[in-house]
Structure 1
Amino acid sequence: MTEEFSTSETWPMECLRCWHVWQEEYVVRHLTDVHGHDVVVWLRRGTPVQPPWSGTSCPGCGHSRVAAFPPGSRPLMVPLALPEPAATVPALADERRHIPAQRPGTRERIVSTLTGQPALLYALLGIVFLLVTGFELVERVAIHH
């Protein structure tokens, strides 16, 4: 076999049971055998392994249902800025409420151009609008016929 080229790839992984997120480094060797067929060999630390989309287990819980994402398909992972410590905010009638600080175990959050919460809210509002409009249209047609 002759080696054509090797690439280094970082694959993000996510456990579908405990939601643990991690990355694994692979060296991908592209070879050509004596018959001219292309062969791809995946290596981790110099040892041949299965491709990232098969046979991966979660290092946190050991579960085998793991989602592997090709390089570049996931949004950028950046550290989450920690909020200021808990502060007191004066409320009406001289009551004081505490604003809880975020858990110290929170390390990072996925940053993307479109967050899921507002998009979901707009989708739900659109569905409600269509349902109300549809019911009113049916009611008006039923009255006139």
Structure 2
Amino acid sequence: MIDHPETMISDRGRVLRRGIRHVTVTCKGLSKTIEQPGYYPDDPVDFDDAILVGSDLEPGDVALRELKEIADRIPRPETVRRIRTKLGLSQKAAGAILGGGPSAFDKYERAEAEPSQAMGNLLRLLDRHPELLQELRAEMPDEHR
């Protein structure tokens, strides 16, 4: 399918060239315009044959996570990492104390899984009131304190 690193042939036989287009990502009434790399036909308004490969998908994924953080209160990986670090917790300890298990925070921070809305609410609460972590720790077995 690839003729040259800068061009591709679509399934319909059209030549697509490597480039960037402005695309609007939307989520629950919110929107964000991003620069979307990919392979596009020469007609700037025709996206029917566009092909996105590999890391081309990242800008859209990042924008969607940003919008979901606002619309659904689902924290982005960067937000999860910032709050966990602020609380002085390792990923494993955060999973034990806050829930989700030993690898949950690793997955949240690598965008392999999204935290639940309940976890998002807990993280926001602890971000504003980190002293509440002591109450959670007090109820944990010694190895997680």
Q: TM-score range by the shorter chain?
A: under 0.3
> What TM-score, normalized to structure 1?
0.24
The structure that is helix-richer by fraction is 2
Greater C-alpha radius of gyration:
1
> What TM-score, normalized to structure 2?
0.24
The structure that is strand-richer by fraction is 1
